[in-house]
Amino acid sequence: MKQLKGIGASTGIAIGKIFMYTPKQLPVNAEEKDSLPFSEKKEILERVINAAEKEIDALYKNTRKNAEKEAEIFQAHILFLKDPTIIKKIDELLKQNFTLPAAVKKAFEESVAIMEKMENPYFKARAKDLRDVEERLLRKISGIETQSLSSIPYPAIIVAKDLTPSDTASLDRKNVLGFVTETGGITSHTAILAEALGIPAVVGVRNILSEAKNGMLAILDGSTGDIILEPDETTLARYRQKKEQYEREKKELEKVKFLSVSTKSGKTIEVSANIGKTDDINIAINSGADGIGLFRTEFLFLDREIPPSEEEQFNAYKKVLEAFGSKPVIIRTLDIGGDKQIPYLGLEKELNPFLGVRAIRLCLKNKGLFKTQLRAILRASIYGNVKIMYPMIAIKDEIIEANNLLKTVKKELTEEGVAYKKDFEVGIMVEIPSAALNADELIKYVDFFSIGTNDLIQYTFAADRTNRNVSYLYNPLHPSILKLIEMTIKASHKHNKWTGMCGEMAGDPKAIPILLKMGIDELSMSPSKIPNAKKLIMETE
Ligand code: PEP
Ligand code: MG
């Protein structure tokens, strides 16, 4: 018996035999030349591009049946396949008498190298897609089909170095018990696709390729990232039991996750999702979210060189609002600063960024940036049930200033004849102790509160939320935190308004019954925590 550890990428337990997926790379000599005329090679190139396009299109249609969002990657593959820069490069190389495989390899490698050098993880990931397209073309040119996952000989746990989107899309699903890969992180294609298909997966398992063998019995635990090779009888029995329990619980949760839930005493609680990108929309919907309780819009600003334009932001907000229809979507205005630094804004370096010009403070100092965002949200507001929320409010003057700016933006849009929703709720995050302590006053200026416990705890205990050495202070259930929460809820109810929570505490099973007792009205959390939270709410008085 041998135990290896990776990153749990898709929950669930698989027990079964291993199938090693190790497709051989086609041997291509990138320096090889021949004397075939250009026109002949160009004709073959066009033929294989057409054939590859048909193949990719079939993969697109097949994947779309189960995972619509994930299928989009194949549309990108078709664009790569026809990329004019790459084709021009291939043509040039063919004219220099390189063989067709050599020209394809050289041309693609050049683009792959450029993408791999980029800092942005998105482009780094696209380099892998380019390689996928390159491999497909080379296979078509050589006529050699390598090992494929379209027919797996027995129900198996697939072990591979990494899986490309094409590998996973042509998958013989009925025989796949789980995935294990040696490389790849939580955002790799394998991880995303496995999650969408509901197949347990562990990624980033060092040495799995040298330790595992075809037909070897293995256990995969997608929640913990554990891989056990050749388990003994006791371990096997333990995991069989764990698997049964997991599946029983999953079935139970499946039954409740799409319900609108109420406590036993009859209070309906909205259970919403926290998201950071439009890519998360489907995950939130599939997890049973009653809406979006926190859209962290700063993610639209990270990992890039310039801020997103008004148009780009408008499109992102519209997409989320349309996806949720009449269900509420709380768009939080920019929370940049603290641990989310954005180099291109050229902000002053601070000794204590968590206590510096962050979130609403930064927006009120950079009104141009803030106005662009408010314009984009207002323009998108007609597509759904929007609510706006300001982060890091410490004092009422900040709300007044932000609301004045919102009024100005509305006036400007009216003058320009641009449509926007006239009436929607505006709220604040309560995540600084001063806001909770003065909630009674602040509520007069807003329609709702949402408690951000991640920061509220950090600022209450003066304990950096990212510093492990002070994590012993980071206790959501400490009386000082519970008192601040209770004060906030009471203040809102006194004025017939409502309080939600969007910090991590909202999804914590130990905290939920306490929060319900205090009268919380809404909970917003990571999508994966929604089903269990709904079940707990239904079981609580
Ligand atoms: C919070 O502080 O609890 C919160 C939800 O905001 P963020 O984690 O984005 O700071
Ligand atoms: Mg916060």
- Residue recorded with tokens 């048909």: 54
| pLDDT tens sequence across 395-442 | 999 999 999 999 999 999 999 999 999 999 999 999 999 999 999 999
Backbone angles phi, psi at 23, to 5 degrees: -65, 135
pLDDT at 146: 66
Q: Under CATH, which architecture does the 38-142 domain have? A: Orthogonal Bundle (1.10)
Tell me which residue has its CA closest to atom 8 in ligand 1.
454
| pLDDT tens sequence across 479-531 | 999 999 999 999 999 999 999 999 989 999 999 999 999 999 999 998 888 99
Q: Ligand 1 pocket check: which of 358, 431, 449 to mutate, most ligand atoms within 8 Å of Cβ?
A: 431
| pLDDT tens sequence across 287-307 | 999 999 999 999 898 877 789
Cβ contact 384:329 at 8 Å: yes
Q: Which residues contact 418 (CB under 8 A, 6 or more apart)?
A: 379
pLDDT at 355: 95
C-alpha 452 to ligand 1 mean position (Å): 5
**AA letter at 467:** N
| pLDDT tens sequence across 7-50 | 888 889 999 999 999 877 778 889 999 999 999 999 999 999 99
Backbone angles phi, psi at 10, to 5 degrees: -150, 125
Q: Which residues contact 339 (CB under 8 A, 6 or more apart)?
A: 353, 354, 465, 466
pLDDT at 72: 82
pLDDT at 302: 81
Q: Under CATH, which architecture does the 2-23+148-253 domain have? A: 3-Layer(bba) Sandwich (3.50)
- Whether pLDDT at 184 is above 80: no
What ligand 1 atom has the least distance to the C-alpha of 503? 3
- Whether pLDDT at 470 is above 60: yes
- Whether pLDDT at 196 is above 90: no
C-alpha 471 to ligand 1 mean position (Å): 16
pTM, rounded to two decimals: 0.70
pLDDT at 187: 57
Tell me which residue has its CA closest to atom 7 in ligand 1.
454
Q: Which of 363, 478, 495, 502 is catalytic?
A: 502
Q: Ligand 1 pocket check: which of 272, 277, 295, 296 to mutate, most ligand atoms within 8 Å of Cβ?
A: 296
Q: Is 363 a catalytic residue?
A: no
pLDDT at 188: 65
Beta pairing partners, 268: 262
**AA letter at 295:** F
Q: Is 189 a catalytic residue?
A: yes
- State what percent of residues in the chain have pLDDT above 70: 96
Q: Give the span between the Cα atoms of 320 and 304, in whole angstroms.
A: 21
Pocket of ligand 1 (CB under 6 A): 294, 296, 335, 431, 452-455, 502-503
| pLDDT tens sequence across 313-372 | 999 999 999 999 999 999 999 999 887 778 888 888 898 999 999 999 999 999 999 999
C-alpha 454 to ligand 1 mean position (Å): 5
Rounded to an integer, the average pLDDT of 64-68 is: 71
**Residues 333-367 as b or e (16 or more Cβ within 10 Å = b):** bbbbbbebebeeeebeeeeeebeebbbbbbbbebe
Cβ contact 104:16 at 8 Å: no
What ligand 1 atom has the least distance to the C-alpha of 453? 3
Q: Give the span between the Cα atoms of 6 and 201, in whole angstroms.
A: 10
Tell me the pLDDT band of 217, cut-offs 50, 70 and 90: very high
For the chain, which residues make up each domain, given as ranges? 2-23+148-253, 38-142, 257-538
- Whether pLDDT at 268 is above 90: yes
**Could you list which residues have their CB under 5 Å from ion ligand 2?**
431, 452, 455
| pLDDT tens sequence across 97-118 | 999 999 999 999 988 888 888 7
C-alpha 453 to ligand 1 mean position (Å): 7
Backbone angles phi, psi at 96, to 5 degrees: -90, 15
| pLDDT tens sequence across 370-396 | 999 999 999 999 999 999 999 999 999
Residue 426 tokens, joined: 């505006």
Chain-centroid distance of CA 237 in Å reads: 35
Nearest ligand, measured from the Cα of 503: 1
Tell me the pLDDT band of 192, cut-offs 50, 70 and 90: low
C-alpha 435 to ligand 2 mean position (Å): 13
Q: Domain 257-538 adopts which CATH fold?
A: TIM Barrel (3.20.20)
- 187 vs 155, higher pLDDT: 155
- State what percent of residues in the chain have pLDDT above 90: 68
What ligand 1 atom has the least distance to the C-alpha of 391? 6
Tell me the pLDDT band of 125, cut-offs 50, 70 and 90: confident
Tell me which residue has its CA closest to atom 1 in ligand 1.
452
Q: Give the span between the Cα atoms of 428 and 377, in whole angstroms.
A: 16
Give me the chain's average pLDDT, please: 91
Nearest ligand, measured from the Cα of 450: 1
Cα angle vertex 174, ends 253, 185, to 5°?
70
Q: Give the span between the Cα atoms of 191 and 69, in whole angstroms.
A: 14
C-alpha 181 to ligand 2 mean position (Å): 34
Report strand pairing: 261-262 vs 522-525: unpaired
- Region for 8 from its dihedrals, namely left if φ exceeds 0, alpha if ψ lies in -120 to 50, beta otherwise: beta
- Whether pLDDT at 540 is above 70: yes
What ligand 1 atom has the least distance to the C-alpha of 450? 5
Q: Ligand 1 pocket check: which of 302, 335, 432 to mutate, most ligand atoms within 8 Å of Cβ?
A: 335
C-alpha 335 to ligand 2 mean position (Å): 8
Q: Which of 189, 478, 493, 495 is catalytic?
A: 189
Tell me the pLDDT band of 165, cut-offs 50, 70 and 90: low
pLDDT at 151: 76
Residue 297 tokens, joined: 């819009």
CA-wise closest residue to 320 among 366, 255, 374, 385: 385
